[in-house]
Structures are given as C-alpha cells and as structure tokens.
Amino acid sequence: MQVNFSYLDRQFADVDVYLKDVRDLVLSGDFTLGPPLGEFERRFAQLMEAPHAIGVGTGTDAIAMSLRMLGVGPGDEVITTPNTFIATVGAIVLTGARPVFVDSEDGYVIDPTQIEGAITPQTKAIVPVHYTGNVADMPAILQIARRHDLAVVEDACQSIMGAIEGKLVGSWGATAAFSLHPLKNLNVWADGGVIVTHSAELAETLRLYRNHGLVNRDEVEMFGINCRLDTVQAVVGNRLIGQTRQITERRIANARRYDESFSDLGEFINIPKRRPGVRHVFHLYVIRVKRRDELLAYLRKNGIDAKIHYPIPVHLQKAAANLGYKAGDFPVAEEHARSAITLPGHQHLTDDEVDYVIQKVRGFYRG
C-alpha cells in the first residue's frame, strides 16, 4: 500500500468543477482584486467569526504585513518560538526587527511561562505559532501582552478552525495570519494567505498596504507593496472553503485513531498532552518516538510518506547565525527536532490507510 502525505491528487480527482470556474474567470479577464476575492474574503471572515479578512500573497506575508502595520520595525524585538517553520522568523526579520526565541512546551507551541524572561525594553510584539494545528495558550499570552503593552500576531498558518473553549484562532491577537499553501487544510492552487482582524482600522490599512498604498488609481496614501491573493486562487478557494469544517473533523478523527492506537506504546511513543478545551486541528500529526530515523526509513520502505517537521530547529539554521543562539539554548525544541515524526493525517485518507499506518508503526516496535 502507498500512503501519501500530499492529497492533492485526490482533492482534485474531479477537477472539472474547478476548471469550469477558472475558465470562466480566465475569459472574464478580471485577475486582480475582483469580485471572487471579495466573496472569498467575506466567506473566510464568516468562517473565522471575525469581521475582516484580507487576502494576501502568502501566509508569510500575512505575518510580515501585520507586524509592519502594527509599527514593528528596525530596533524592535519580536518574540516567537524556534519550534516552527522558518517562515515565521523570516517574516519578523523582513520587518527589520530582531527575532527572540522562547522554548516551546510539550505540544509544540510556545511555553507561556518563559515569555516574560525574554521581554526587554525593545520588545514590541509576540508571534505565537499555532504549530501543527495545536493552539498556543492564548489567554496566558494575552495577559502577558497586556501587562507589557505588546502587540500579538497569531501565526495561524497551520491551524485554521483551531480554538480554545470554542473561541477560534484569529480572534485572540490584533491580527492572525493564515496560509492557503497547497498543503494546508484549506488550500488553493498556489501560494496564498489571509489576514484576519477584528480592527476595522487595521483592516483598512492592510488593504491599502497590500495594493501599493493606492486609495484610488491615481493617489497613494502610503508606500505599500503588491501582495494580493490572486483572483484565480480566490475562485479555487470559494469552491473549497465550504468543506473546511468537514476537512477539520476528518483530520481530528484520524488523529484520535492514531492517539488511541498508540496509547499502549508509551515506552516508544510520546503523544503530546492533548490540552482539555483546545481544538487541535492536526495540520500535522506529530509524535515523538524512539529510534526515529529507523522508523522513518521503515515506514518509507513500506510506502508510507512520513516526514520530519523539522530536523533542524530554527535557531540552529545557518540563517540564524547572527542571532547568537547555540545548541542547548532551547532543550525542548531541540529534543523535538531529534525525535519528532509526522504521519500522514490528511482528510482524504481512507480508514484502511490509517489502519495500515497504525499496523506498520506498531509492527516496527512490537515486531
């Protein structure tokens, strides 16, 4: 059996419905900021239970643009975690600010108890990452942010529909960044991102900023960038967005089956603590295991497309050399990099495929 990590071949097995929409758009010639983008933004905002959604170029841009419009720039520090995809850090550096790392907790999200230790007079913002689809401890983070007058931008690129006590990601920070990259839970056919905010003023500024600062065709209120979600991608998004809830439910169900099936393998497999009240949406199903690299090779040999997210923590990347961190600075994130493995968990997996993965993982440890 072959169990793939990517599901795009299945998602677009019946591609004709999408193609019809795309064809209609191609013939209309209305490719930038047209009505389909307006519709997508409206529906995305509705799904996020937020008043404003702004379609932008990528999830990374969504973070960088948010930080910039909140006034973050050179000389400032922004706190995040080294247990993330490098884009979070790239976005911070792009604003001219300096990334400052705080270790993560067992569930791959920032450890709020360590944040205050990293705050300096230069600190301007916190970017909690809802990594793997888990949700950072937002009530605790917001308390700290309020106490120190810091802006909060949620990196929700992997956690669409994630929530704490029913309150969705994207409704905690000043803004939240979402990604529509082809491998995300809600995806399009190219790079894409969305910013969600409850502030009408920020929404207005971000709309200007993503479109050269143009208030109309001839007048520029501020120097901006060109960073729009393509209208053709909004067309694809409009087809898929209605499925977001089912996609989420299916991923959660797959994860639950994995969790249950591995619960007796505690000596080999460390399943992160599932915090009560948190809806983890499992963009990635990540566990930590003994003999990780052997397991990875074994699963691959058996046709299972397992992956490592990520073998090198961000603070030990060459790109981070000038930030002055070293191995040992963030023991939890570093341990995760050594032992974490990601199993296929996407919404198009069949029950048989999930069973097959479970059987192979169990077989590896139990023989």
Partner 1 sequence: MDVAGQHAVLRTELHEALDRVLNHGHFILGEEVEDFERRFAELCQTPFAIGVNSGTDALILSLRALGIGPGDDVITAPNSFVASAGCIALVGARPVFVDVREDYNLDPALLERVITPRSKAVIPVHLTGRPADMDGILAVARRRNLRVIEDAAQAVAAEYKGRRVGSFGDFGCFSLHPLKTLNACGDGGVVVTHSPELCEKTRLLRNLGLRTRENALLWSSNSRLDTLQASILLVKLKYLEAWTEKRRANARFYQENLGNLPEVQVPADAQHERAVYHTFVIQADRRDQLKQFLADQGIGTAIHYALPIHLQEAASSLGYRRGDFPVAERQASRILSLPVHPDLRPDDLEAVVAAIRNFYRA
Applying CB under 8 A, among 318, 326, 328, 367 the residue interacting with partner 1 is: 318
* Interaction of residue 365 with partner 1, rule CB under 8 A: no
Which of 342, 265, 358, 254 lies closest to 305 in space, CA to CA? Answer: 342
Which x/- pattern over 169-208 shows residues binding partner 1 (rule: CB under 8 A)?
Answer: ------------xx------xxx-----------------
- Beta strands of the chain (E only): which ranges? 52-56, 77-80, 98-101, 123-126, 151-155, 163-164, 167-168, 175-179, 193-197, 269-270, 278-279, 285-289, 340-343
Minimum CB–partner distance for residue 317 and partner 1 (Å):
4
Among 77, 230, 334, 353, binds partner 1 (CB under 8 A): 230
Among positions 102, 153, 194, 227, the unique one binding partner 1 when judged by CB under 8 A: 227
Distance, CA of 365 to CA of 359 (rounded, Å): 10
| Cis peptide upstream of residue 310 (ω within 30 degrees of 0) | yes
Which range of residues in 90-98, 113-121, 122-130, 237-245 is near partner 1 by CB under 8 A? Answer: 90-98
Q: Return the structure tokens found at 114.
A: 């360590």
Q: Which residues of 248-269 are buried (b: 16+ CB within 10 A; e: fewer)?
A: bebbbbbbebbbebbeebeebb
Select 23 or 147, whichever has its Cβ closest to partner 1. 23
What is d(CA 315, CA 329) in angstroms, rounded to the nearest whole number? 9
**96 sits near partner 1 (criterion: CB under 8 A):** yes
Per-residue x/- mask for partner 1, residues 37 to 56, rule CB under 8 A?
--------------------
Beta strands in 293-361 (DSSP E): 340-343
Among 120, 226, 263, 359, binds partner 1 (CB under 8 A): 226
DSSP SS3 for 307: strand
Per CB under 8 A, 17 contacts partner 1: no
The answer to whether the beta carbons of residues 180 and 194 sit under 8 Å apart is yes
Residue list 65-84, contact with partner 1 (CB under 8 A): 73-74
For residue 286, give every residue at least 6 positions away whose Cβ sits within 8 Å of its Cβ, in sequence order, or none: 108, 132, 272, 309, 340, 341, 342
Verify binding: residue 137, partner 1, rule CB under 8 A: no
Report if residue 14 touches partner 1, rule: CB under 8 A. Answer: no
23 binds partner 1 (CB under 8 A): yes
Applying CB under 8 A, among 61, 77, 155, 334 the residue interacting with partner 1 is 61
213 binds partner 1 (CB under 8 A): yes
Place of tokens 């997508």: 40
**Near partner 1 by CB under 8 A: residue from 133, 224, 237, 272:** 224
151 lines the binding site for partner 1 (CB under 8 A) = no
* CA pair distance 261, 257, nearest whole angstrom: 6
Please say whether the beta carbons of 276 and 164 come within 8 A. Answer: no
**297 lies in the binding site for partner 1 (CB under 8 A):** no
From CA 229, how far away is CA 304, in angstroms rounded?
A: 33
Q: Are 181 and 160 in contact (CB under 8 A)?
A: no
Return the residue of 12, 268, 298, 365 that touches partner 1, per CB under 8 A: 12
Binding-site size, partner 1 (CB under 8 A): 64
Binding site for partner 1 (CB under 8 A): 6, 8-9, 12, 15, 18-19, 22-23, 25-29, 31-32, 57-58, 60-61, 64, 73-74, 86-87, 89-94, 96, 181-182, 189-191, 212-214, 218-228, 230-233, 308, 310-312, 314, 317-320
